[in-house]
Every structure is written in structure tokens, then in C-alpha cells.
Amino acid sequence: MEAIVFAVVAVTVIGIICAVLLAFASNVMAVKEDERFPAIRECLPGANCGACGYAGCDGYARALLTGDVKTNLCVPGADGAAQKLSALMGVACEDVQEQVAFMQCSGDCNATSSKMDYHGIESCTAAKLLFGGAGKCSFGCLGFGDCVKTCPYGALSIQNGIAHVNTRLCVGCGLCTTVCPNHLLVTLPDVVKVHVGCSNTEKGAVTRKACTSGCIACRKCEKECPVGAIKVENNLARIDYDICTGCGHCAEVCVAGCISAGDFSGASHVVKAG
């Protein structure tokens, strides 16, 4: 009994000595943090999405303090954050290119079906591991909503078997683009007016068999586009957004209906307008 008590006391005393030393040291030798840091951190949304290219909001705030870093890198914070940051740092405010996520698959339950009855783990990543997923199209949305679980803003939902982006809620942080095993979600500037809702690079006939909404590479959009912004590469229509005027003609002529047109402005624009 005495031995145990002594051991406990000895270790406790060592622990207390260490604790006192550390507490003392951290007080005496505390390094003053830049007083602007909390204020800068306050301007950032705290999503820690990494869209700015730094390790989380703290990382971006620290990088801002060292100077030489632009104040318009926070995509979720949009113009609001950029204005506040610029005011704090005393630099001219540059406009933020707001982004939104786009879904490159339109193969919902009406367009495509399953090639097997999957009863595994309810996750896209897991389903993808088993012969490329249960769907007939191995490029398409797996529908278990890994992206939905990731989205901190509730902008994604599973509707009729595939993920949908509610661009009005999307801030373009890009977290969803990293979790989709088929890389179907991409972030694009939210001034984009048309986008291709398919990722299948198989030949037209093969795509058609798997999904009626898939791009069959008929090149109709390529021929009809008045400015020549669409090219079919690798059996899939791709839009060059530097040239595209957003007229929406391609969406009208698309045989498969996989090109959609509309106003995709994201959450930051909606807030600004309201």
C-alpha cells in the first residue's frame, strides 16, 4: 500500500512540477500574436475549406498578416469578406470571382438504371470500389450522397437518384469536388450560363445504352454554337468558357438533353442582391 501511495505521489509531483514550469514558461515567454489576427480571422467564414490555397481559415489569416497575399482569395466569403479584409489590411479591394459547384451527371432514375443490386456500405466511395459502382454508367453519380454529407451549407441534395446542386445556397468552397469518387462535381465561376451534365467518355452507342441523358458525342452542339465555344473531345462535349457567350443555344439543340442553361449565380450573389 505504501509503495503505491509513494509511486502516485512521486508521479503527481513530477507532473505538477512540469505543469507549473510549462504554465510559467508560456506566460513569461508568450509571443504576442499580431493584434490584427483575431479581427482578420473574424472576417473569414470558418469553413476551413482550403479554397484559398492555405491550410484552413487560420492559415489564410496568418498568410495575410505576412503581406504579399491577396485579400480576394476567400471564395465562400465572397465580396463581403474581401471588402472587410481589404479595409483591415489597408489595401485596395479586388473583386472575388464567386464560384459555384456544377454537377456533371444528369443520369437520374428516369435516364439510367442499375446493373446490379448493391447492398453494401451506403457510401459512394465504397460503392465505387465494387466494379465501378452499381449504375450502368461507371462515370455517373453513385447516388449515396457523400457530397451531401460534406456540404456545410446544405446546397446539395439527392433527387431522383443523383446529386443536385442548389446554386442559390452554394458558396463554391469546393469541398464536394474532393469527395466525389467519380469527380463529377466541379467548381466554375458562377457567371457561367451553360454547362455539360455528363462525364461519360465512352463512344456514343455505348453511352446511349447505359443512360439516355448521356452525351453521345453527336457534335450537334459543336456545329450549332455561333461562337465555336464547344468542342467534342474524347466523346464528350466540352465548353470553353473563355469564348462562350452564354446564349444557351447548345442546350436547346442537344439531342440527349445533357447540356443545361440557366442562371447559376451562387449564394454570395443572391445575398448581395437581397
Partner 1 sequence: MDNLMHFDFRGLVVIMMSAILVNNYVLQKFLGICSFLGVSKKLDQATGMSFAVIFVMLLATAVTWPIQYYLLNPNGLEYMQTVVFILVIAALVQLLEIIMKKYVPALHAALGVYLPLITTNCAVLGVAILNINNQYDFLASMVNSFGSGLGYFLAMVLFSGVRSRMEGGETPKSFEGLPITLIAASIVSISFFGFAGVINNLFA
Q: Which residues bind partner 1 (CB under 8 A)?
A: 3, 6-7, 10-11, 14-15, 18-19, 21-22, 25-26, 29-31
Look at the block and give the residue holding cell 461507371.
Answer: 138
Phi-psi label, residue 203: left if phi above 0, alpha if psi -120 to 50, beta otherwise: beta
Minimum Å distance from CB 18 to partner 1? 4
| 20, three cell numbers | 507549473
Cβ distance to partner 1 smaller for residue 31 or 205 = 31
Q: Of 3 and 273, which has the nearer Cβ to partner 1?
A: 3
182/132 Cα distance (integer angstroms): 9
Question: CA 93 to CA 74: how far, in whole Å?
Answer: 13
Of 66 and 234, which CB lies nearer to partner 1 in the complex structure?
66
Shortest reach from residue 19's CB to partner 1, in Å: 8
Contacts of 113 (CB under 8 A, 6+ apart): 135, 136
Q: Which residue's CB is nearer to partner 1, number 62 or number 269?
A: 62
Question: C-beta of 58: minimal distance to partner 1 in Å?
Answer: 14
Shortest Å distance, C-beta 139 to partner 1: 19
Q: Please give the DSSP secondary-structure letter assigned to residue 110.
A: T
Q: Give residue for cell 504554465.
A: 23
Q: What is the rounded distance in angstroms from the CA atom of residue 76 to the CA atom of residue 87? A: 18
Q: How far is the CB of 9 from partner 1 (least distance, A)?
A: 10
Using alpha carbons, select from 98, 106, 88, 82 the residue that is nearest to residue 214: 106
Q: Name the maximum alpha-carbon separation found in the chain.
A: 92
Residue with smaller CB distance to partner 1, 21 or 271: 21
**To the nearest whole angstrom, how small is the minimum distance from the Cβ of residue 29 to partner 1?**
4
